[in-house]
A and B are shown apart, each in its own frame.
Chain A
Amino acid sequence: MKKILYILSILLTANAFAQNVEFTKDNFKDNKDGFKEAKKNLEMGDDLFAQGSVFYRQALDPYLLAQKFNPNNALLNYKIGKCYLYSSYKLKSIPFLEKALELNPNVDPQIHYVLGKAYHLDMQWDKAIAEFKKFQATITKPSEFAEIIEDVNKHIEECNTGKELVKNPIRVFIDNVGPEVNTSFPEYGPIISADESVLMFTSRRTGTTGGGMDELLMEPFEDIYVSFNKNGKWTPAQNAGKPINTEGHDATMGLAPDGQKLLIYIDEKGNGNIFECDLKGDTWSKPERMNKNVNTDYHESSASLASDGKRMFFVSNRPDGMGDRDIYMSTLDEKGRWGKAVNLGPAINTKYGEEGVYIHPDGKTMYFSSQAHKTMGGYDIFKSVYDETTKVWSTPENLGYPVNTPDDDVFFVVSASGKHGYYASISNNGYGEKDIYMVTFLGPEKPMVMNNEDNLLASQTAPVKETVIAPVMQIKEAQLTILKGVITDAMTKKPLEATIELIDNTKNMVVATFTSNSSTGKYLVSLPAGRNYGIAVKKEGYLFHSENFDIPATAAFQEVTKDVELKNVAVGSKIILKNIFFDFDKATLRPESTNELERLTKLLQDVPTLKIEIGGHTDSKGADDYNKKLSDNRAKAVVTYLIGKGIAADRLTSVGYGEEQPIATNDTDEGRQMNRRTEFKILSK
């Protein structure tokens, strides 16, 4: 009993008066071999440590061995703490830094700063602020250390922001996308098609193209991988293969919403550049370096294509920016060349770093990361919306905790529906190193409704139930329509590579052009709300197909599947001209019809032998005679237009069918709308 007490008291003493033990021979007389080995490890670690933060991770192994031998060296504990702070497991730094401080409060002039950073990352806000303030107090000449003072103040501000954000977390589910995608190696940089049917990402796993190792970091080179969503599950990820992946680093940057164009990052002698490649059938074209308006001698590190394919947002650290990395935009000119890069300006860019840009398929919501604005530490992900009328980006809004953390949160992409986000993160529950996670945004808390009664009238014993009106919530969701489907030959049912033109009918302007995939016939078009869209599907040798989508600005997100069968130019073929509009109850063509009429004109010009009939159809409302006359006049109006454009009158016939040939029920609004139509039929060719 006495003995136990004695040992216990010694232990307590040792703990209370833990002293700094230097790595000197005298301190380890009993274990000379052990000391030699530890000293060797210490020196090996010191060599790596001296080469800068990139090597801190490698310094950790020998340092930890030395620390096992002599746990009570303040400086070693400090250095291990610092190494961990630069590793994937930053929070492991805390016990080492705390111990260093305990062993020797003066172990390093920066100990409070480094410990403050570690607490900051661990969201121990008050402790972090206290350490930062202690560090501030050690700065004796503020004029000489202005930069450091600014940095420390920024950290304190970030801690205060963090406190607020953590107090009001956003409601999300965060799910690992699963072992089909994630491995024990790092996976990061997820990019998705707008409908989340394709996921591409970067990984440094074994089996990389060429099998080489990055000697600097002793890790495999980066390669791009791809997985497809089949019935809600990701297929096992495949290496995207050549020509995308090379023996060096190949990393994802951006995927067009329809998945047909890929932007990748290729490291060219330390100067990162943006390359583009197109999906032709099931193979990717050879990556091509984008032009000098986009790529410079500096580092271009992130890029995203707008859904119209005409604007590209990217990140560069070129010197003419607002400081550090900035976000730029380039616009495709009429000749198909990317124009001069424009800095997005001070609403978005700051003197600190901006990184990881992603433009949502709605064409106006941008997600990006910044070290400034209201970050809770490192890079945080922000959202800003471009107002087309005022030409102004809204004040960036922090996406909030737990999506953002005190550490770097970068490279975040969001599905067209706005419901899901994808990003990479390290979690203890993951498959190891960085994994790809999907965030499901739940929106503001859905209020539960309670029911109560009161005895409002004294003369009545039955309580009166309070009329509860559950609050109606503003649902913030993406305001766009995703139109997708498969384009096939009407006869052979084989997939077709066709051109899909997106027309703003009001402006009579082609706003975007897409191509369906040649081997699958698949296409996907984003239609931001607030326009009357004409959609023309064209392919040489086929009659064009037209669709109309009039989407009010307030329309909620919807995904519409529309498979299109293109018909050959053959006698008897009939096409509905969905973008020909008349004034109500009149035979006057509305200006929104222009594009469709021009398309029809061109067809007749291209095939000069073609003779067609223009047929007018109405719904069943109104008298038969009246309908017949109206439809006849409307068909005539189209013919008159075509004659005006120089098409010979003897090639054109007009017929008013009235309500004789319905293609849908006349009992619903929708059906009646389908029945009111203009068609053309090929009479001879």
Chain B
Amino acid sequence: MKKLFFSVVCVIALAGTASAQTDTIIKAKVLDDGSQDAEKFYNAGIEDFKMKNFQGALINFNQAITVKADFERAYYNRGATKFEMKDYNGAIADFDKALTLAQNADSYFSRGQAKYALGDKAAATADYTKTIEVKADYAQAFYYRGGIKFEHKDYKGAIEDFTAAVKIKPDYAYAYNDRGSAKRMLDDIDGAISDYNKALISNSELAFIYNNIASAKRKKGDFKAAISDYTEAVKLQKDYYVAYNNRGSAKVDAGDYKGAIEDFNKVLELKKDYAYAYNNRASAKYKLKDYKGAIDDCTKAIQLDANYGYAYLNRAIAKEMMRDNAGACADWKKAIELGVESAKNYTGDCK
């Protein structure tokens, strides 16, 4: 009936509050026979969307739908626009409508993303599964479903989905990264390192992959290699405080306490309320027998997070060396209260 005129490629990056850096690309074929108003509004909406003028896009898609009530792609794109505007319920209603008009894999997938953004992981999983039913080679659906399985600590299930994703899309760096992480959670550190390496072959510009491979190597006890990979991570992303904090810890492990302190200092320059860096710097200072410095750092960590059990544990350990047994006991007891079981080993002599 309608003559296909030209097609526009619409890039809609779906990203929720918790999601970013996604490499998911949704290619929506946009149709316009040029002679109809609905299609004109529709195409104008896509232009607005590309310019991130979501309000404008919304008005145009609304117009398109007003003109043409069964315009399936317009519903889909309006849903995508609402998603960007964080109106997830509105987005879901549009994807629902689009799905009554056509069983499109993208609609299921995008609805899954919106449901995930609303925290309904079970419904999101169901939509990703539906996506795969409609389109068996939908790599992103496998990838995101794997991610939810990971969050539910179903690492084996996650690995299956990530594996399916990389089979479909062999350069899927994210999927390799995440599969590596799932393997790491299963204590398959060698498998994790191998996957992180594959991720880096696909994309060597992603700082977090370097960070992750470094952490896997640190876990293996290969502190030197870990430090070198963390260094790559912070080269790629200068403000990557997580990696600085990790490199500092790896330096403590390797016995380079002064170097570690420099790293933790750097973290605190980048993110001055990062309690972990204070806590970890205390560990380095303790090793250098700067017990007072260690106590001060733990105190700062506790000021930032009053429920920081490990900071209490560590402060007690430093206090013991300062011959402050009463103080140490009070801190160990507080640590136990906050769930740090190992502190129970130390309270035997406490009154």
Q: Would B320 and A453 count as touching, CB distance under 8 A? A: no
* B147 contacts across to A, CB distance below 8 A: 457, 459-460
* B215 contacts across to A, CB distance below 8 A: 452, 454, 466
CB nearest to A461 among chain B residues? B20
Interface residues of B in 1-52 (CB under 8 A from A): 18-22
Total number of B residues with any Cβ neighbor in A under 8 Å:
48
Q: Would B21 and A446 count as touching, CB distance under 8 A? A: no
- Tell me if B159 counts as interface (CB < 8 A to partner A): no
Q: Would B173 and A173 count as touching, CB distance under 8 A? A: no
Known: A419-B349, A459-B144, A477-B348. A453 touches B310 (CB 8 A): no
Total number of A residues with any Cβ neighbor in B under 8 Å:
30
Closest-CB distance, B283 to chain A (whole angstroms): 4
- 0 or 1 for each of B202-231: is its CB under 8 Å from A? (1 = yes): 000010110110010000000000000000
Known: A419-B349, A449-B313. A454 touches B342 (CB 8 A): no
Q: Would A461 and B18 count as touching, CB distance under 8 A? A: yes
Q: Would B345 and A463 count as touching, CB distance under 8 A? A: no
Closest-CB distance, A237 to chain B (whole angstroms): 24
* A448 contacts across to B, CB distance below 8 A: 282-283, 286, 294, 313-314, 317
Interface residues of A in 412-458 (CB under 8 A from B): 419, 442, 446, 448-458
Q: Would A173 and B144 count as touching, CB distance under 8 A? A: no
Looking at the complex, which one of A451, A455, A475, A557 makes contact with B280 (CB distance below 8 Å)? Answer: A451
Interface residues of B in 249-275 (CB under 8 A from A): 249, 252
Closest-CB distance, A414 to chain B (whole angstroms): 15
- Most interface-central of A449, A471, A477, A556 (chain B CB within 10 A): A449
Q: Would B345 and A457 count as touching, CB distance under 8 A? A: no
Q: Would B317 and A458 count as touching, CB distance under 8 A? A: no
* B93 contacts across to A, CB distance below 8 A: none
Closest-CB distance, B247 to chain A (whole angstroms): 10
Q: Would B177 and A458 count as touching, CB distance under 8 A? A: yes
* B21 contacts across to A, CB distance below 8 A: 458-459, 461
Q: Would A458 and B173 count as touching, CB distance under 8 A? A: yes
- Tell me if A7 counts as interface (CB < 8 A to partner B): no
User: Bound complex: CA of A446 vs CA of B313, how far in Å?
Assistant: 10
Interface residues of B in 310-350 (CB under 8 A from A): 310, 313-314, 317, 320, 323, 340-342, 345-346, 348-349
- Tell me if B246 counts as interface (CB < 8 A to partner A): yes
- Tell me if B142 counts as interface (CB < 8 A to partner A): no
Known: A451-B310, A452-B249, A475-B348. A457 touches B342 (CB 8 A): no
Interface of B is mostly: helix
Q: Would B345 and A472 count as touching, CB distance under 8 A? A: yes
Known: A458-B208, A459-B19. A450 touches B252 (CB 8 A): yes
- Tell me if A648 counts as interface (CB < 8 A to partner B): no
- Most interface-central of A446, A448, A458, A470 (chain B CB within 10 A): A458
Interface residues of B in 172-196 (CB under 8 A from A): 173-174, 177-178, 181, 184-185
Q: Would A454 and B20 count as touching, CB distance under 8 A? A: no
* B206 contacts across to A, CB distance below 8 A: 458
Q: Would B242 and A453 count as touching, CB distance under 8 A? A: yes
* A419 contacts across to B, CB distance below 8 A: 349
User: Bound complex: CA of A461 vs CA of B177, how far in Å?
Assistant: 14
Looking at the complex, which one of A451, A453, A556 makes contact with B279 (CB distance below 8 Å)? Answer: A451
User: Bound complex: CA of A453 vs CA of B211, how far in Å?
Assistant: 10
User: Bound complex: CA of A557 vs CA of B349, how far in Å?
Assistant: 10
Q: Would A470 and B341 count as touching, CB distance under 8 A? A: yes
* B320 contacts across to A, CB distance below 8 A: 442, 446
Q: Would B342 and A470 count as touching, CB distance under 8 A? A: yes
Looking at the complex, which one of A446, A450, A454, A471 makes contact with B346 (CB distance below 8 Å)? Answer: A446
Q: Would A454 and B276 count as touching, CB distance under 8 A? A: no
CB nearest to B116 among chain A residues? A459
- Most interface-central of A442, A461, A468 (chain B CB within 10 A): A461
Q: Would A456 and B348 count as touching, CB distance under 8 A? A: no
* A446 contacts across to B, CB distance below 8 A: 317, 320, 345-346
Q: Would B178 and A457 count as touching, CB distance under 8 A? A: yes
* B313 contacts across to A, CB distance below 8 A: 448-449, 470
CB nearest to B248 among chain A residues? A450
- Tell me if B54 counts as interface (CB < 8 A to partner A): no
The 27 sampled A-B contact pairs (Cβ below 8 Å) are A442-B320, A446-B317, A448-B294, A448-B317, A449-B340, A450-B280, A450-B283, A451-B279, A451-B310, A452-B215, A453-B245, A454-B246, A455-B211, A456-B184, A457-B150, A457-B151, A458-B173, A459-B22, A459-B147, A459-B174, A460-B18, A462-B18, A463-B242, A466-B215, A472-B345, A475-B345, A556-B348
Instruction: Beyond the given A446-B346, A456-B184, A456-B185, please list 4 additional residue pairs across the A-B interface where CB-CB is below 8 A.
Output: A419-B349, A454-B181, A459-B147, A472-B341
Chain B residues packing against A (C-beta within 8 Å): 18-22, 143-144, 147, 150-151, 173-174, 177-178, 181, 184-185, 206, 208-209, 211-212, 215, 242, 245-246, 249, 252, 276, 279-280, 282-283, 286, 294, 310, 313-314, 317, 320, 323, 340-342, 345-346, 348-349
